[in-house]
Amino acid sequence: MWKILFIAALSGGAAALVSQDLDQEWETWKSKFNKSYPNKNEELKRREIWEKNLEMITQHNLEFSKGMHTYDLAMNDRGDLTTEEMSGCLLPFRKRRSV
């Protein structure tokens, strides 16, 4: 019984980390970039990352409008990835030298 309550508490707490105000924008973004996730937990994780990235982009663009940056940012197909995951996608593969 405690195990079920603990899991329910975790699930409920995690759901509170996403903004319902962004539901339509999230669905539009997923559709635009043909995103789907194997389960609700993975989708929730990706949604949280996406919201953090969206917040960072919004803040940066506000600063851009005040002349604090020389470029603006936009959400793209990698909006559901962490910085570490993006680095792995963007860094070129190194060829191994054979001896």
Where are the domains positioned within the chain? 38-90
Architecture of the domain defined by 38-90: Orthogonal Bundle (1.10)
Q: What is the pTM of this model?
A: 0.73
Give tens-digit pLDDT for 2-53: 343 333 344 444 445 788 999 999 999 999 999 999 999 999 999 999 999 9
Torsion, Cα 69 74 76 82, to 10 degrees, reads: 50
Q: Contact at 8 Å (CB) between 34 and 64?
A: no
